[in-house]
Structure 1
């Protein structure tokens, strides 16, 4: 008998799907549904209580609960992975950030010239979610950015951060072509 590594029950937490500053792409369709809707359903299935970005930061602080930020551009992130990240944040009292390995070749640029290849084993792509433990929520006055890569860097500069490798279907889309590729990758068999 195998155990599902994502079969966990998260503590009470609040969450939102971040669609701000992402243009119209969150409203593109994947499997016949808007990306933002798919991401919202995953949050609900993970047992996270939704809030919208109009909620005051003081209200989030007063809740004393972790805050889960789920990127609308990572619409197929499994609910179980979101729940696992909330549990990891609670257990480690750290910000938890979902990441994917870098698969592209990355080159260093020096004085306008392409230089050596950077070892991609040391690189990750920020995906979703970003989970803020209650003590981090309390220490912030709000989000310093809605861009997940910028947000991850800002949080890492101030707080303990743990990265967790997200499953392949959690990849972030950046174009309609990416949406079609993700749709093909996540088509039920």
Structure 2
């Protein structure tokens, strides 16, 4: 039996926003010659997600009755296949899906201004990208979600089923130009 290379499984339709608000100038720095915002938008498109402008009225996003993918440009190298898999999972299970990375830094408790014990980081994760909202969650929100994805995920976990999915290493979040250079070196072909 031969396999048709053009016989690609149909993906669930979804809309996507590149969340660049409240992130300073870093989303406009370059990775592999493209701005982080452009890289994030490209990844959405390659994942089969239709990018929409952040100025799109919220009512239009609700009326579309599609999952909404929030992609942080500070996770510019998130693989399109991972984004598509998150959309598929959110659609199949009617839950919010959040890409996360394991915490690798040492985490200390601070009490009364003093550094205390080291926390076990085994169960700790850092929000990465994407955050996929199923249509029912999009419809239930009063307006656009917070651009602070950590705060958004905390709020969503109080109200909806949320599944955390470990994102690949290339989906790591950058916080500085130095982080960006490391990510660029890791993703060089």
Residues 42-76 of structure 1 deviation map (CA, whole Å, 9 limit, x = unaligned): 00000001111111111111101000000011000
**1:4 — aligned with what?**
none
> Equivalences for 1:58-77 in 2 at 5 Å?
58-77=59-78
Stretches (4+) displaced over 4 A: none
| TM-score, structure 1 as length reference | 0.93
Tell me by how many angstroms 1:143 deviates: 3.2
Aligned residues: 182
1:104 Cα shift?
0.5
How far is the alpha carbon of 1:10 from its aligned partner? 2.8
Matched residue SS, 1:142: coil
Q: What's the counterpart of residue 41 of structure 2?
A: 40
Give secondary structure in 1 for the equivalent of 2:71: strand
1:10-29 pair list within 5 angstroms: 10-29=11-30
Q: TM-score, normalised by structure 2?
A: 0.93
Shift of 1:9: 4.5
Superposed CA RMSD in Å reads: 1.2
How far residue 91 of structure 1 moved from its aligned partner, in angstroms, is 1.4
Choose 8-17 or 160-169, whichever is displaced more. 8-17
| SS at structure 1 position matched to 2:69 | strand
Deviations along 1:82-101, one digit per CA (max 9) or x if unpaired, are: 00000110111110000000
Q: Distance between the aligned counterparts of 2:142 and 2:99, measured in 1? A: 23
Q: CA deviation at 1:22?
A: 0.7
Q: Specify the alignment match of 2:129 in structure 1.
A: 128
Q: Which runs of 5+ in 2 are unaligned?
A: 1-7
